[in-house]
């Protein structure tokens, strides 16, 4: 489960593809028509945006290039090339093509969409003064046409990335009020904002990870270290069990070879040293930090944390249990963990009898689940300490 677009990890590309699909203004692909009908600007633009949605960027570029060879001044094709180059982090080329999209726009609709494209690219790039540039492009977009939901939707995405959640909600609510395209997507964004408000990560890294649509094993390690006390709790459990301080407190575990130069190596080291199920090293000694975390993996993390915290073994927790999920068989290696995380601890849910063990998780969903697992793993005395009122001069939780 390697990333298909390395480095693009803030979920902006998904939002871009949704908006840009509505900009294409093309019909579905028609199979069986003569080449003269299929080989049209509109057809290639439509295909290009479909490939963008599937993260097949090179295929999208080929389609947009063909569209431009047929109609060099096509605003939609130029916008498509802009997103291709934005995805590839070549922002000089991205803005070059989007500038052409603005120049070639003949209708108010096309001009508004071109400026919304500018908003998208500034949000993706997040360069110096990016939010001000987004807002300026937004003003240009609604000056051209204030009847389209796309600029409001993209403004909501930008405010969300900046953690200006109240303003983000207002923008997405405007999209839903317009009752045109992107209503479902705006509603999903509003749900995500509610989760962000509930999680409210405290660290800079945690805030970035919470915005991701899919998180990696390295991201999960960073959440465990930076946004919870789970490692601290497990160390205390180990100290009580052995009667001596955890050796990890004075000697870090050896780093897996594929983590030595990773930007999150410190967080990964802290997780590896505690040998947490679901985030252990593999048989070849690697950690695979950039693999996406699966729901089954997080269930194993949750089950390990909860059972270590309350002293119950996984077998005791799942003795005689039957799977409530059609896609989790009793002989699956993660069966017991799923039962603990879902049925016993009630920290993870399925839907319609499906757990989706191989599915990925968003950053905010993973953070909320880990926070709940932390609470379940705490000893009664730790829970009492956390509920006690702060005294004068006491520090805030880090």
pLDDT of residue 180: 82
Which helix (H) or strand (E) element contains residue 271? helix 265-272
Report whether 326 contacts 357 (CB < 8 A).
no
If phi over 0 gives left and psi between -120 and 50 gives alpha, with beta otherwise, what is residue 348?
beta
Per-residue pLDDT of the chain (398 residues; tens, 9 = 90+): 444 444 444 456 556 655 555 545 444 444 444 555 678 999 999 999 999 989 899 999 999 999 999 999 999 999 999 999 999 999 999 999 999 999 999 999 999 999 999 999 999 999 999 999 999 999 999 999 999 999 999 999 999 999 999 999 999 999 999 988 899 999 999 999 999 999 999 999 999 999 999 999 999 999 999 999 999 999 888 888 777 665 544 444 578 999 999 999 999 999 999 999 999 999 999 999 999 999 999 999 999 999 887 766 555 666 667 889 999 999 999 999 999 999 888 999 999 999 999 999 999 999 999 999 999 887 555 554 554 443 333 333 33
Which helix (H) or strand (E) element contains residue 214? none
Instruction: Report the alpha-carbon angle 106-111-117, nearest 5.
Output: 135
pLDDT of residue 323: 87
Half-sphere exposure of 379 (CA within 13 A, CB side): 12
The backbone torsions φ and ψ at residue 360, rounded to the nearest 5 degrees and listed phi first, read -95, 175
pLDDT of residue 40: 94
**Domains, the chain:** 12-200 (1.25.40.10), 214-383 (no CATH)
Residue reference for tokens 């509603």? 187
Report whether 79 contacts 114 (CB < 8 A).
yes
Task: Give the separation between CA 269 and CA 318, rounded to whole angstroms.
Answer: 30
Contacts of 193 (CB under 8 A, 6+ apart): 160, 165, 168, 169, 172
| Per-position DSSP letters for 22-74, written without gaps between them | HHH--PPP-TT--HHHHSSHHHHHHHHHHHHHTT-HHHHHHHHHHHHHH-TT-
pLDDT of residue 96: 97
């Amino acid at each position: 489960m390697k990333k298909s677009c390395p480095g693009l990890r803030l979920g902006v590309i998904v939002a871009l593809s949704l908006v840009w699909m509505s900009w294409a203004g093309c019909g579905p692909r028609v199979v069986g028509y003569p080449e003269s009908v299929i080989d049209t600007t509109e057809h290639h633009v439509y295909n290009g945006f479909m490939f963008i949605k599937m993260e097949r960027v090179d295929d999208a570029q080929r389609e947009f290039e063909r569209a431009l060879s047929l109609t060099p001044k096509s605003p939609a094709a130029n916008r498509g090339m802009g997103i291709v180059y934005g995805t590839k982090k070549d922002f000089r080329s991205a803005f070059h093509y989007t500038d052409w999209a603005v120049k070639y726009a003949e209708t108010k609709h096309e001009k508004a969409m071109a400026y919304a494209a500018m908003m998208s690219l500034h949000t993706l790039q997040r360069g110096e003064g990016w939010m001000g540039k987004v807002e300026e492009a937004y003003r240009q977009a609604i000056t051209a046409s204030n009847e389209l939901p796309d600029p409001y939707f993209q403004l909501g995405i930008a405010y969300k990335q900046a953690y200006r959640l109240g303003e983000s909600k207002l923008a997405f609510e405007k999209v839903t009020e317009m009752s045109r395209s992107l209503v479902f997507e705006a509603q999903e964004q509003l749900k995500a904002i509610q989760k962000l408000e509930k999680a409210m990560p405290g660290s800079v890294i945690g805030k970035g990870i919470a915005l991701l649509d899919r998180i990696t094993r390295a991201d999960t390690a960073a959440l465990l270290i930076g946004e919870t006390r789970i490692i601290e709790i497990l160390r205390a459990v180990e100290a009580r069990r052995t009667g001596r301080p955890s050796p990890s407190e004075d000697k870090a575990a050896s780093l897996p070879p594929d983590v030595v130069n990773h930007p999150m190596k410190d967080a990964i080291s802290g997780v590896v040293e505690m040998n947490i199920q679901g985030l252990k090293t593999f048989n070849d000694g690697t950690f695979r930090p950039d693999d996406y975390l699966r729901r089954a993996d997080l269930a194993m993390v949750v089950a390990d944390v909860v059972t270590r915290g309350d002293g119950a073994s996984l077998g005791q927790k799942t003795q005689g249990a039957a799977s409530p999920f059609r896609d989790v068989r009793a002989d699956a290696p993660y069966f017991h963990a799923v039962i603990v995380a879902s049925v016993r601890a009630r920290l993870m849910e399925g839907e319609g009898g499906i757990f989706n063990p191989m599915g990925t998780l968003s950053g905010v969903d993973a953070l909320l689940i880990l926070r709940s697992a932390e609470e379940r793993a705490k000893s009664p005395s730790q829970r009492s300490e956390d509920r006690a009122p702060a005294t004068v001069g006491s520090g805030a939780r880090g």
